[in-house]
Amino acid sequence: MADYDFDVLVIGAGPGGYVAAIRAAQLGLKTACAESRETLGGTCLNVGCIPSKALLHASELFEEASSGALAKFGVKIAGAELDLDQMHAEKAKAVKELTGGIEGLFKKNRVEWLKGRAAFTAADTVDVGGRRVRAKNIVIATGSSVTPLPGVTVDDEVVIDSTGALALPKVPEQLIVIGGGVIGLELGSVWKRLGAKVTVVEYLDQILPGMDGEVRRESAKIFKKQGFVLKTGTKVTKVERNGAQATVTVEPAAGGAAETLTADAVLVAIGRRPNVDGLNLDAAGLTLNNRGQIAVDHDFGTSVPGIWAIGDVTPGPMLAHKAEDEGIAVAENIAGLTGIVNHDVIPGVVYTHPEIAGVGKTEEELAAANVAFKVGKFPFLANSRAKTNRDTDGFVKVIADAQSDRVLGVHIISSLAGTMIAQAAQAMEFGATSEDIAYTCHAHPTHSEAIKEAAMAVTGKPIHM
Ligand code: FAD
Ligand code: NAI
């Protein structure tokens, strides 16, 4: 290995980086991973996917137990109480178990964890915590962090970001969420279920940008029914902290009269941006694209040979599973194999209740690209299992190419949408037609039968509608 310290040095141990490091080591490459956090697992395990899902699960249980919603099933619960400290403790335990698990996997696969912040000193050399390391291949997997709202200071007490919203010590009476995207709706749901009144201020006309239009409209109806106040088409012009509260000034995005809202917590959730500060990319000869990301080719190579990049720091959806798949692919490419990620088939899930999931193209994207398509829809009101469970919000929509019938997109609103979407992704990966799905036997009674029925509806022949 000449005078290289490692075959592969991965910078960042999030879902992209830790997976890349493990796969590289599995392929026989001498591998290290630099991580500046105290624990491995990146945003996802420490302050993202995992703690948010822990609170979503626990808050759903609390709401079910305390709201009387189970009484109609003959389950009466008196005196259900919230123990928020215990809820946080159980969340912390899950995070600790999972981040510790990655440390165990590093040991098992002989990936060396270099503790500290990494900065390039040359295209093949990086300083990590005072140690100079030379590697034949360097994978940048530094992820992303919260996009600040100009003029608004996150103080981690009243004005918070997603990390603060995962650790509030008490339930706010009023929570204002700035940004009607994934984080705003998931963490807004957590605190709403625990008793907060939640107002979401969204700049665009609809919440959940990027998702199918009909899904966005239907989701908004469902969230409003749950008690969310959704102020779409509204911009925030000022956030002022007054002691234990904050005043948020808003006005219509198109211009008009201003209004002030008061809350004891304001969550800023307007997106995330790539982590590149302090990496000293100049020393490596790397530049950023116009969105501040590191551009990569089909193999995850950057413009500098030997330097690769994956995950949130690169273009594409900022999702853990996208980063993980790229981690596997980049390691395989470095090892001389063929690592591929099909970016046309990356599912996205919003873990609210009901869940909202999609894979492939939306109707709007296909219309804009002048692709002729057919749509089949099936509502959960007509699905026997959903009806039995009294869980009938939502629908499945299957979009297929008008000529070839190949499935181009599937969009689902359902309590089980996050699990169900995997079937659609797999079908699309195998190039399935709507007819293929329609003629696949689905177990009865399951929510998944709605996917079969929506596929049948593409040709106008659902049975139960
Ligand atoms: P990251 O996970 O951000 O990891 C990058 C790591 O690099 C960090 O640990 C950082 O400390 C380290 N690092 C950065 N710079 C350096 C440096 N110079 N030297 C050393 N180390 C460095 N996605 C989903 O798919 N599903 C979800 O349910 C979901 N929920 C989320 C909930 C929240 C609240 C948030 C904030 C995000 C959520 N995401 C979710 C998004 C997901 O967390 C990211 O897409 C994912 O973590 C990206 O992985 P990554 O490996 O690219 O980067
Ligand atoms: P987002 O991009 O999903 O939503 C941000 C929202 O804020 C958008 O609707 C946008 O129009 C709005 N917005 C932007 N500027 C605004 C302003 N000044 N005033 C009002 N609204 C404004 O970003 P979010 O929710 O912060 O999440 C960041 C990333 O984390 C996402 O890209 C997502 O992929 C990832 N994530 C994924 C989750 C999942 O997969 N379940 C869960 C949480 C986060």
Ligand nearest to the CA of 220: 2
**Ligand 2 lining (C-beta closer than 6 Å):** 149, 178-184, 186, 201-204, 209, 235-236, 269-272, 317-319, 348-351
Testing ligand 1's pocket by substitution, the residue of 9, 33, 49, 359 carrying the most ligand atoms inside 8 A of its CB is: 49
pLDDT in tens, 225-282: 999 999 999 999 999 999 999 999 999 999 999 999 999 999 999 999 999 999 999 9
Using CB atoms within 10 Å of the CB of residue 265, give its burial: 0 to 12 exposed, 13 to 18 middle, 19+ buried: buried
Q: How far is the CA of 355 from the centre of ligand 1 (A)?
A: 22
Closest ligand to C-alpha of residue 164 is 1
Contact 346, 357 (CB under 8 A): no
Q: What is the pLDDT, as a whole number, of residue 2?
A: 63
Taking a C-beta distance cutoff of 8 angstroms, is the pair 447, 383 a contact? yes
136-174 pLDDT per residue, tens: 999 999 999 999 999 999 999 999 999 999 999 999 999
CA distance 83 to 193: 13
Domains and CATH numbers, the chain: 6-146+273-334 (3.50.50.60), 159-267 (3.50.50.60), 348-457 (3.30.390.30)
Token look-up 């798949």 returns 325
Give the model's pLDDT for residue 386: 98
**How much of the chain, in percent, has pLDDT values that exceed 90?**
99
Q: Which residue do the tokens 């530094």 mark?
A: 142
Residues near ligand 1 (Cβ within 6 A): 11-17, 34-37, 42-44, 48-49, 52, 117-118, 141-144, 162, 183, 275, 278-279, 311-312, 318-321, 323, 351
| Cα separations in angstroms, 330 against 71, 285, 425 | 52, 20, 21
Distance CA 381, CA 394 (A): 8
Let me know if 444 is a catalytic residue.
yes
**CB neighbour list of residue 201: distance below 8 Å, 6 or more residues apart:** 176, 177, 178, 179, 180, 231, 234, 235, 236, 248, 250, 261
Q: What tens digit of pLDDT does each residue of 376-401 get?
A: 999 999 999 999 999 999 999 999 99
Residue 272 alpha carbon, nearest atom of ligand 2: 28
- Tens digits of residue pLDDT in 438-454: 999 999 999 999 999 99
Q: What's the burial of 334, exposed, middle or buried (CB within 10 Å: 0-12/13-18/19+)? A: buried
Question: In terms of residues, how long is the chain?
Answer: 465
Strand partners, 218: none
